Structure 1
Amino acid sequence: MTENQQHPQDQQLARRKVVAVGAGAVAAVTLGGTAVAASALDGERERASGGASAGSASAAEECYKLTSETTEGPYYIDADKLRRDVTEDREGIPLALRIKVIDSETCRPIRNAAVDIWHCDAVGVYSGYEDMGNGGGGPAPTGPPPTAGPSGPPPGGGHQEPTDDTRYLRGTWRTDRHGFVTFKTVFPGWYRGRCVHIHAKVHVNGEWTDAGYEGGNTCHTGQFFFDEESVLASAVVEPYVSNTAERTTLDEDTIYDGSGTQGGLLKLRYDKRNIAKGVRASLTVGVDPEATNDGQDGPPPQPSASASPSA
């Protein structure tokens, strides 16, 4: 994630608790036969095997602060799953999302930050909120076909409590000593009123303990975006082709500010002849580690002729 979703004011991220994970846990991301492996506490192996994505992320980069600070949207679920593979049973184009978190003033990598991501599936449905549907873009994974877009609050606020126990396409993981974190997921779909996007939060200055990640501050709440060429390529692949919801383009979106990577536009690598093989997405996320951007009072989206409640 935009999805102007506000987390309840009384839920303080100052005491986030995430399920603890063993130091030896290892995950593998495979796209088109290329593996991206990473250790839970040391991502050096991940960096070495990251292929083209690693090259783009480690290239010389400018210090900048992301402009895409937004409200968190109605569909954020706090620290529910500590994992890098968030796919579960969702069908779609494999996506390796590789993020590097840096201090926007010094350009130094921020290690041991907790990064959350969450997004809808190929037909525009969010886990935890399946009965809210996707605006007519295909049947929800369970229950009857959706009858409306993600309902949520009016622009500018209103967290929605989850309506079911599903948690696919959501996860939290830590950055390695180089500031990198990689998630395995699927290319997101779309729903009425929003372009294709992924929500993210970055938490810093806390501690990883036996209970998980505690204390600190949320220094970034925003969204990552996909260029039109990639979205159009995905739209002819199953199950995206069954998504009949009206699609908002990147230029029409009320959240993306048009500033490229600084505004959250992902750098993508994939076979232009067959995007179904998989996509590698990367972005350097410049943050102010001393700031608090928890999505509780971010700016509302600008009005749009086709906009529905933002999420």
Structure 2
Amino acid sequence: MAIKNLLASLLLAAPVALAHPGHHEKVYAHSALPLERKSLAHCSAEFSKPEFIKRTVEIHGEELARLKRSLGLEAEETPKLRPRDYISVSRIDHKSSKAVSKGMDLSTLFSDAGACMLMPAVDQGPLYVQGEEIRKNITNGEKGIPLTLAIQVVDYKTCQTVPNAYVDIWSSNSTGIYVGVQGYPGMGDPKDASILKGTTLRGVQPTNDHGVASFDSLFPGHYDGRATHIHAIVYLGATKQPQHTITGGRAAHIGQLYFDQSLITAVDKVTPYSSNKMKITQNTADFLFMQGANGDDPIVRYAMVGPNLSDGLFAWIRFGINQQANKAVNPAAWWTDKGGVMNPKGPVSQLTGGGTGGWGGWGKKRAAVEPVEDEE
């Protein structure tokens, strides 16, 4: 597989707005970055090394084999890649029709790791909970389509993988609801304090010696105003605590990842996703997707674990990060040994008015929020 040509075509995108609500918000752009900051072409040689590919294949292959064994299956499928702008990216089918059999060369599946993204100007959105537990399975028994997500973290300057980082992800459930944050319009009863006890689809994982962290999650549901997505923060220098959380360190990467529109359409026909009546926002109508996909491809590569969508998905992507970056994080809430606690100076505290679809007056108040800055 011509991985060198594939990876040389990957460019880094720089979304420059708040993760929610997607529209009605003021954009805080960073100063222009040197061109070399927006390309990982110089990494193609490193990513093409047989040992690099071999190790990536082994890690992803073990995950895929684990999922297939749980279903008593042995076959799979793979993804594709093209040069990109946000329209062309939205038209790529990230799932291949190639049959995968036991004993095949998995490098044909995993050598294309998807996007290599450096996102220097996007904050974490209004529904981030800091202090979630280190755990691989973040489903909490919730119903939905199983999704195992593998994220590989690499240094965009050295092209080397980043071990011992912590990847923190969070997303909505199958019906488009985030748990863990109280009072955000459209995300449950704002007076229901029990929402703060929720940790579903929130969790942290360390990267291994090849820079890979993986989660057993669920495919997220859609909601009004945003394309279907998963949030991620990469922490460096954090300390693992006895209660299986992390403290300290710095956020070197804040980003979002997306899915094929055709896959989202198929998922929305499956129970319980089909009960979600909120308006669907297409990838190409989402401002942050446009920013991320103009020059890069923030859509995950994926394969079906079994013959049916309900059997689950295995997805993977690569993040290129600046290890010297120190991005501002202002969580909506903190997870503590006594449960969730709202941040009195967090994003939700800046809301004015109510509303549905998860926005309310967020956009009106956004102008008061300080822009996120890179610190190098």
Same fold by TM-score, threshold 0.5 exceeded?
yes
Which one has the bigger helix percentage? Answer: 2
Q: Structure 2 counterpart of 1:176, which letter?
A: N
Are positions 1:183 and 2:215 aligned together?
yes
Name the CA distance, whole Å, in 2 between partners of 1:130 and 1:29.
36
The Cα of 1:90 is off from its aligned counterpart by: 1.1
Q: Report the RMSD for the aligned CA atoms in angstroms.
A: 3.7
Q: Counterpart in 2 of 1:171?
A: 203
Which of structures 1 and 2 has the bigger CA Rg?
A: 2
Q: Counterpart in 1 of 2:327?
A: 293
- 1:106-255 map, 5 Å: 106-129=158-181, 132=184, 134=186, 163-208=195-240, 210=242, 213-255=246-288
Matching residue within 128, 136, 156 for 1:84: 136
Going from structure 1 to structure 2, the CA distance change for 1:283 and 1:56 (only over 3 Å counts) comes to farther
Q: Counterpart in 1 of 2:19?
A: 2
The Cα of 1:206 is off from its aligned counterpart by: 3.5
Going from structure 1 to structure 2, the CA distance change for 1:192 and 1:60 (only over 3 Å counts) comes to closer
Name the CA distance, whole Å, in 1 between partners of 2:145 and 2:116.
30
1:88 counterpart SS class: coil
Going from structure 1 to structure 2, the CA distance change for 1:102 and 1:272 (only over 3 Å counts) comes to same
Name the CA distance, whole Å, in 2 between partners of 1:60 and 1:226.
16
Relative to the length of structure 1, the TM-score reads 0.67
Q: Is the 8 A contact 1:203 1:220 kept in 2?
A: yes
Relative to the length of structure 2, the TM-score reads 0.56
Going from structure 1 to structure 2, the CA distance change for 1:115 and 1:56 (only over 3 Å counts) comes to farther
Q: Percent identity, aligned pairs only? A: 28
Q: Is the 8 A contact 1:98 1:281 kept in 2?
A: yes
2:285 counterpart SS class: coil
Name the CA distance, whole Å, in 2 between partners of 1:293 and 1:57.
33
Q: Structure 1 counterpart of 2:209, which letter?
A: R
Q: Structure 1 counterpart of 2:283, which letter?
A: L
Count of matched residue pairs: 243
Name the CA distance, whole Å, in 2 between partners of 1:261 and 1:78.
31
The Cα of 1:216 is off from its aligned counterpart by: 2.4
Are positions 1:267 and 2:305 aligned together?
no
Which one has the bigger strand percentage? Answer: 1
The Cα of 1:63 is off from its aligned counterpart by: 9.6
Matching residue within 95, 102, 112 for 2:154: 102
Name the CA distance, whole Å, in 2 between partners of 1:99 and 1:248.
25
1:131-151 CA distance string (max 9 Å, x none): 65748xxxx6xx7xx9xxxxx
Going from structure 1 to structure 2, the CA distance change for 1:61 and 1:247 (only over 3 Å counts) comes to closer
Gaps of 5+ in 1: 6-26, 36-50, 147-160, 297-305
The Cα of 1:171 is off from its aligned counterpart by: 0.2
Structure having greater relative contact order (Cα 8 Å, sep ≥ 6): 1
